[in-house]
Structure 1
Amino acid sequence: MASPKYLAVFIALVAVFNISNAQGLKLGFYRKTCPSVEAIVKTTTARVISQAPTLAAPLLRLHFHDCFVRGCDGSVLINSTRNNQAEKDAIPNQSLRGYGVIDRVKSAVEKKCPGVVSCADILALTARDAVSLIKGPIWKVPLGRRDGRVSIITEALINLPPPFANITQLKASFASKNLTTKDLAVLSGSHTIGTSHCSSFSSRLYNFTGRNDTDPTLDPNYIIRLKSKCKPADLTTLAEMDPGSFKTFDEDYYTLVAKRRGLFQSDAALLDDPETKAYVKLQATSHGSTFFKDFSKSMEKMGKIGVLTGNAGEIRKRCAFVN
């Protein structure tokens, strides 16, 4: 195992790489080549969200899962082939949804500006617009990302923080992407919308340490409620991550975490670090919440992770296939 000294150097080098590449992004990148791209993306996304508002959460998650593996290069969208198993087939990604929305937006953009706008940029814009359309925060999305040509199943397993991660693992994962401990606390707030399969947290209810026990950090009354919904080995039932307001982007997630009702171990882990715990308490109790403003800042940082710019990568014609 690498020493802490070498690990720190590696994280610093990754951060430098992320920052240097992100400088190739800019607002208005397609001003001359496809000036209507943002309008097309928002109009197409709005049609989808007006019919299925619950797709906002999966689209945001799709963007997150893309950026944490190889950077925000659209590699999560690539299909597996006979010779290669891609990221989307990794266990953490098998529950991802929203690919059809990205294809729909891409097709609309291609009709107007063929071969100009990357799938990575379209994913970043669609995620932002989907969240804003359900009255969530809005953030700046500088453009100019290029699409990656590589997508490897094992890299998703290595890079995506699992729902059972502890605070040390979470902080290390985010640090490797040039994201701070505050970014971890802020971006965890995306769990204010959406649902999860029972299998992602059922061990907390039925077999936490392998002795048919429950997670002591989870509110006992909440365990009873979750058990009534999720039976052992249930792979299909969905549970709301923020019960009562899972369609609304708000600070309620932090209220739940503060009450020891976060659905995942990774949610509960936010109470195990002084900085993340303080952020949870602040958002759970403040009336002039900074959550939207903080979320916008953190999303702008996340959207710049490991991007390909300039002549790197390609502009895919279809998001699921390398040219």
Structure 2
Amino acid sequence: MACPKLFLSCLLLQLMFLFLVPEAAQGQGLKVGFYRKACPNAEIIVKEVIGQVMSVAPSLSGPLLRLHFHDCFVRGCEGSVLLNSPTYQAEKDAHPNHSLRGFQTIDRVKTALEKACPGIVSCADILALVARDVVVATGGLFYYVETGRKDGNVSTSKEALNDLIPSKANITTLKIDFAKRGLSVKDLVVLSGGHTIGTSHCPSFSNRLYNFTGKGDTDPTLDSNYLARLKLSCKPDDQTTLVEMDPGSVRTFDIKYFNLIAKRRGLFTSDAALLDDSQTKAYLDFQIKTGGSTFFKDFGESMVKMGRIGVLTETAGEVRKVCSKVN
């Protein structure tokens, strides 16, 4: 298996997890400008639709970015998170995915692309392009997206339950789960920075407020003032309230969420865990000290790496005509 630009560290990771994730794809068959001849305006069309959506529903930026993450971490970046199941057994039906939003926006993009170039642009590529465009729309840096993915035809809620990394994960779990997907510790902390936009439902973190160790206690690592504010928003049995992951800056792609983590105000256990590793903490400290001097560039690079996970290309998979169902 090729290991471009990652050298020995990447090779070691692949060997470590070869038996855990057989034949983990590293993005073979992807390239920037894949649709240049077959659908030359593809990326322009995606950008235009996302611009229209962001002008009237800017709160969808976080959810649309999250869709790409949740797609790639289950079966790879092959659009399986978009599939519907008549028996409600698809990935989107798994409990961790109940809060996913933005499916109608993806359908809107797909409709526009099908009108311009029928049967050409995959739903998996749409997710990757949309993620980039919402990052740019909220103030992040443009990065080139590799395209050429095909769509898968399998989607199960059981796999989503097993493979999605829980918000309660500690640093050991996070590092192992990212490494299994060919992502480094740096990618872990960089991609966690995506929490700078978007919101979360109370159940994703309420254990930190009311029952951290199963004894009705709170997470001692949480800033006490932040803890008090979260309790005002989320009562013990609240299942529906949305809380900003980056209060006051939820619609701006910036490094303020890193500042919050350093102040013990990260919303999730997995955010707080970034302080428990010397490498992730050093990255946080550096970005805070330098005003995010490399974060925006790093984020684009890590997103490209994530977008190579488990891809289907060339004769594997298909290009769905409708993103919610196989052809």
TM-score (norm: length of structure 2): 0.93
Q: Does 1:11 align with 2:22?
A: no
Do the aligned partners of 1:196 and 1:241 also contact (CA within 8 Å) in 2? yes
* Alignment partners' CA distance in 2, 1:33 and 1:228: 53
Q: Which residue of 2 aligns with 1:259?
A: 263
- CA distance in 2 between partners of 1:278 and 1:52 (Å): 35
| Contact 2:255–2:292, Cα closer than 8 Å, also in 1 | no
Within 2, Cα distance between the matches of 1:121 and 1:284? 33
Which stretch has the larger CA shift, 271-280 or 94-103?
Answer: 271-280
Distance 2:35 2:223 in 1: 50
Q: Look up the match of 2:3.
A: none
- C-alpha separation between the residues in 1 aligned to 2:167 and 2:291? 29
Q: In 1, Cα distance between the equivalents of 2:206 and 2:191? A: 23
Who is 2:276 aligned against? 272
Does residue 286 of structure 1 match 2:309? no
For the 8 Å contact 1:15–1:178, the answer to whether it is kept is: no
Q: Distance in 2 between matches of 1:143 and 1:192?
A: 25
| Alignment correspondent of 1:194 | 198
The aligned counterpart of 1:4 is: none
Q: 2:218 aligns with which of 208, 214, 232?
A: 214
Partner of 1:203: 207
Kept in 2, the 8 Å contact 1:11–1:176? The answer is yes
The amino acid across from 1:299 in the alignment is M
Out of 141-150 and 7-16, give the one that drifted further: 7-16
Q: Does 1:65 align with 2:67?
A: no
Please tell me the residue identity of whatever aligns with 1:59: L
SS in 2 for 1:116: coil
Q: Which amino acid aligns with 1:30?
A: Y
Q: Which of the numbers 71, 90, 97 marks the counterpart of 1:86?
A: 90
Q: How many residues align?
A: 314
Kept in 2, the 8 Å contact 1:196–1:238? The answer is yes
- Counterpart of 2:4? none
- Aligned equivalents of 1:192 and 1:170: distance in 2? 19
* Structure 1 letter corresponding to 2:48: T
* Matched letter for residue 79 of structure 1: N
> Secondary structure at 2:35's aligned position in 1?
coil
Indicate conservation of the 8 Å contact 2:255/2:291, yes or no: no
Equivalent-residue separation in structure 2 for 1:288 and 1:246 (angstroms):
17
Q: Tell me the residue number matched to 2:311.
A: 307
String of CA shifts for 1:42-71, please: whole Å, max 9, x gaps. 111111111111211100000000001111
- The residue type equivalent to 2:24 in the other structure is F
Q: 1:122 and 1:287 mapped to 2: Cα distance? A: 31
Matching of residues 1-323 of structure 1 within 5 Å:
9=15, 11-12=17-18, 14=21, 17-19=24-26, 22-82=27-87, 85-287=89-291, 289-323=293-327
Distance in 2 of aligned mates of 1:288 and 1:322: 42
Q: Distance in 2 between matches of 1:240 and 1:17?
A: 34
Quick check: 2:24–2:181 contact (8 Å CA) kept in 1? no
Gaps of 5+ in 2: 1-12
**For 1:304 and 1:15, how far apart are their aligned partners in 2?**
15
Unaligned 5+ runs, structure 1: 1-6
| 8 A Cα contact 1:18 1:178, kept in partner | no
Residues 147-175 of structure 1: per-residue CA shift (max 9 Å, x gap): 00000111111111100000011011100
% identical equivalent positions: 64
What's the TM-score once normalised by structure 1's chain length? Answer: 0.94
Structure 1 moving runs of 4+ over 2 Å: 7-10, 12-17
Shift of the alpha carbon at 1:144?
Answer: 0.5
* 3-state SS, counterpart of residue 295 of structure 1: helix
Deviation at 1:292, TM superposition (A): 0.3
Distance in 2 separating the partners of 1:287 and 1:183: 19
